[in-house]
C-alpha cells in the first residue's frame, strides 16, 4: 500500500548534491508527494511536500515530473548529518488518509 518505489540505498560525497529518486506511477490527481527522513532511530522528520510544481525550502528541493509519476528530492550540499533513511510518501491532503511509509532510501553521506 506504500504506492512508492525507492532505491534501497545511495551514497553521496560530502558537499555534493544528493538526488534521491521516487517512483509513484499510480499517483492520483489529488495526491501530494511528501518526503520525510529518519536519522538513526529518531522519529521521522518532515522535509518537504508538493503537488505539481517544484518546491524548495531551507532543507531541500523537490522536483516532480510533469506526468507526476516520479519525483526527486535534492539535498544541494549534503553533510554527514544528512545520513538517514529518506521516505517518499503520497497522500491526499486533509482526508485522514493513512501515511504509508515504504522501505525508503538509506542515504550514506561520506567524507
Partner 1 sequence: DTAVSQTPKYLVTQMGNDKSIKCEQNLGHDTMYWYKQDSKKFLKIMFSYNNKELIINETVPNRFSPKSPDKAHLNLHINSLELGDSAVYFCASSQEQPGQGADFAPGELFFGEGSRLTVL
- Using CB under 8 A, list all residues that contact partner 1: 32, 34, 36, 38, 41-46, 49, 85, 87, 91, 93-96, 98-101, 103
CA atoms within 13 A on the CB side of 79: 4
φ, ψ of residue 82 to 5 degrees: the values are -85, -5
Residues 47 and 103 sit within 8 Å (Cβ to Cβ): no
Cβ proximity to partner 1: between 15 and 54 the closer is: 54
CB of 84 to partner 1, least distance (A): 12
CB of 109 to partner 1, least distance (A): 18
CB of 15 to partner 1, least distance (A): 27
CA 55-62-24 angle, 5° bins? 125
Amino acid at each position: 500500500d506504500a504506492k512508492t518505489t525507492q532505491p534501497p540505498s545511495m551514497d553521496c560525497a560530502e558537499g555534493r548534491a544528493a538526488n534521491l529518486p521516487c517512483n509513484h506511477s499510480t499517483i492520483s490527481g489529488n495526491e501530494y508527494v511528501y518526503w520525510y527522513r529518519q536519522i538513526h532511530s529518531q522519529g521521522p522528520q518532515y522535509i518537504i511536500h508538493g503537488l505539481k510544481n517544484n518546491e524548495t525550502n531551507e532543507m531541500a528541493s523537490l522536483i516532480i515530473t510533469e506526468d507526476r509519476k516520479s519525483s526527486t528530492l535534492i539535498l544541494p550540499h549534503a553533510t554527514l548529518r544528512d545520513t538517514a533513511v529518506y521516505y517518499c510518501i503520497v497522500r491526499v491532503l486533509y482526508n485522514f488518509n493513512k501515511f504509508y511509509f515504504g522501505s525508503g532510501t538509506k542515504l550514506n553521506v561520506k567524507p
